[in-house]
Chains A and B, each alone.
Chain A
């Protein structure tokens, strides 16, 4: 085994995990909302970008922003209809509702885009870079850089701006926030739009790695689940760390032990952590 190559693979995988997870992390932290349609949103974004390139012949560099924008709009609609439940913090019903949405997206996408596997082709994927034994593509570099930039930017916004304080205040106590003159509903919508747009960006950068299917849904992003919980509910820094950690784990586990059981092993890891530390690794309490 080429250890250096596996570490590169781990970094690349990890940046993808972290990027796809970030929206969910923020959503879970701010609105305590588990979005089980997350995987279908990823699928939808990938297919929207694909359709924009196939049907309208636009460039990859235009198709991805279109998908991000479209998903952002979808986020406004989705959170709009869920708002009464979110304001009541009826979390049980919300989880089931998002599961229902995911199922609708999956059925709807299969009808619109067909059941065949497709490829979202990025010109960057073809540009490979070689250094002796190790090998990666320009797409990998862009994904890694994009992830780090987005996380850095998000960290700054969350910790250094009034907007970030607004989100954190609603996360801590939406009722109290109302007395501060804060419209919690608007914060919830904003956070949900961010999750949808972020997962669309993640899809735009990560989906070119492998064929896309309308049925891929959760399976494709299932590992981001681990990232979100391992990183600590709502912790931006924790998610980045957990994303890279998980990337390394899957790359090395796949190379050293068995590629077939990688997901199961990652989840087993999650179960062990949750039994010992129910709040995730970054939990303060």
Chain B
């Protein structure tokens, strides 16, 4: 029993990603404990998105990925992105996360909740609308007509419909008003407290530090620091690079 509990929800080792001759991510390990929330911060171009996409086996460009990804102890390495999504390794990508030509309902209905969830929790439509009441009124609106915040809510909702074992979130706050950012991330935290495992990539260091259990710092494709959020808050590199500049 204790052994099972110790198995990390997601364990990635030695992830390296190359684009042609360029190394974008170089030998990074990531562990997401079950029911935990891990955050990753880093400058623009540090390779955060490349890394989180590699975990999902997904890429818009011709990327070559090395390393191992295990979801609940099962290898994901040879699975195509849509298979990983169905097994519960669900990515909400940066930027465009929903279909603009489809309505909110259609976007959500694309997801087939797993027939055999095995401990994963597929969110029902009612639960989704309870979580994001605003979406209930937008059901028949096309994705392209929504505001940035609403789009992000739909993107997260469709991920929840898929009953994620681990939810991979790539900069959900990009382009949102500060109040919305906090609201969205706080909602994510509530879900984690209810048992969801989340790996979050963010630009917004302040908000991330307040919510996650553990923080990773990525620089030029390499992991340069990791630790509990409480200690990382005082890490000079974090202070200097991100929080310091925000001090007024």
Is B a genuine binding partner of A?
Answer: yes
Asked if A179 and B85 sit within 8 Å, CB to CB, the answer is: yes
Asked if A181 and B82 sit within 8 Å, CB to CB, the answer is: yes
Asked if B110 and A182 sit within 8 Å, CB to CB, the answer is: yes
Closest Cβ of chain B to A226, distance in Å, is: 25
Closest Cβ of chain B to A161, distance in Å, is: 10
Residues of B in contact (CB 8 Å), total 26
A 152-172 to B, binary, CB cutoff 8 A, 1 in contact else 0: 000000000010011011011
Q: Which residue of A lies closest to B81 (CB)?
A: A178
Asked if A180 and B110 sit within 8 Å, CB to CB, the answer is: yes
Asked if B85 and A169 sit within 8 Å, CB to CB, the answer is: no
Q: Does A93 contact B (CB under 8 A)?
A: no
Asked if B111 and A178 sit within 8 Å, CB to CB, the answer is: no
Residues of chain A lying within 8 A (CB to CB) of residue B100: 172
Alpha-carbon separation in the docked complex, A176 to B155 (Å): 11
Asked if A178 and B58 sit within 8 Å, CB to CB, the answer is: yes
Q: Which residue of B lies closest to A182 (CB)?
A: B82
B 53-93 to A, binary, CB cutoff 8 A, 1 in contact else 0: 00010101000000000000000000011100110001111
Q: Does A175 contact B (CB under 8 A)?
A: yes
Closest Cβ of chain B to A128, distance in Å, is: 45
A 169-201 to B, binary, CB cutoff 8 A, 1 in contact else 0: 101110111111111100000000000000000
Q: Which of A172, A175, A180 contacts B158 (CB 8 A)?
A: A180
Q: Does B162 contact A (CB under 8 A)?
A: yes
Residues of chain A lying within 8 A (CB to CB) of residue B92: 179
Alpha-carbon separation in the docked complex, A169 to B96 (Å): 13
User: Which of A162, A165, A168 has the largest number of chain B CB atoms within 10 A?
Assistant: A165
Asked if B111 and A180 sit within 8 Å, CB to CB, the answer is: yes
Asked if A173 and B93 sit within 8 Å, CB to CB, the answer is: no
Chain A interface residue count: which class?
Answer: 10 to 19
Residues of chain A lying within 8 A (CB to CB) of residue B81: 178-179
Alpha-carbon separation in the docked complex, A136 to B53 (Å): 60
Alpha-carbon separation in the docked complex, A178 to B84 (Å): 9
Q: Which residue of B lies closest to A166 (CB)?
A: B110
Closest Cβ of chain B to A55, distance in Å, is: 44
Q: A178-B80, A181-B86, A181-B162 are in contact. Are A173 and B111 (CB under 8 A)?
A: no
Closest Cβ of chain B to A182, distance in Å, is: 6
Q: Does B43 contact A (CB under 8 A)?
A: no
Asked if B99 and A173 sit within 8 Å, CB to CB, the answer is: yes
Residues of chain B lying within 8 A (CB to CB) of residue A166: 110
Q: Which residue of A lies closest to B168 (CB)?
A: A179
Asked if B86 and A165 sit within 8 Å, CB to CB, the answer is: no
Q: Does B106 contact A (CB under 8 A)?
A: yes
Q: Does B97 contact A (CB under 8 A)?
A: yes
Q: Does B101 contact A (CB under 8 A)?
A: yes
User: Which of A172, A177, A180 has the largest number of chain B CB atoms within 10 A?
Assistant: A180
A 66-77 to B, binary, CB cutoff 8 A, 1 in contact else 0: 000000000000
Q: Which of A165, A168, A171, A178 contacts B82 (CB 8 A)?
A: A178
Asked if A176 and B82 sit within 8 Å, CB to CB, the answer is: no
Asked if A168 and B85 sit within 8 Å, CB to CB, the answer is: no
Asked if A179 and B93 sit within 8 Å, CB to CB, the answer is: yes
Q: Which residue of A lies closest to B80 (CB)?
A: A178
Alpha-carbon separation in the docked complex, A178 to B90 (Å): 10
Asked if A183 and B102 sit within 8 Å, CB to CB, the answer is: no
Residues of chain A lying within 8 A (CB to CB) of residue B96: 173, 176
Alpha-carbon separation in the docked complex, A173 to B106 (Å): 15
Asked if B90 and A179 sit within 8 Å, CB to CB, the answer is: yes
Residues of chain B lying within 8 A (CB to CB) of residue A178: 58, 80-82, 85
Asked if B99 and A168 sit within 8 Å, CB to CB, the answer is: yes
Given contacts A176-B97, A180-B82, 16 further A-B contacts (CB under 8 A): A162-B110, A165-B110, A168-B99, A169-B101, A169-B102, A172-B99, A173-B96, A175-B60, A177-B82, A177-B110, A178-B85, A179-B81, A181-B85, A181-B86, A183-B82, A184-B82
Residues of chain A having any CB pair with chain B under 8 Å:
162, 165-166, 168-169, 171-173, 175-184
- Can you list 7 A-B contacts with CB-CB less than 8 angstroms, sorted by A residue number? A172-B102, A176-B98, A178-B82, A179-B82, A180-B162, A181-B162, A182-B82
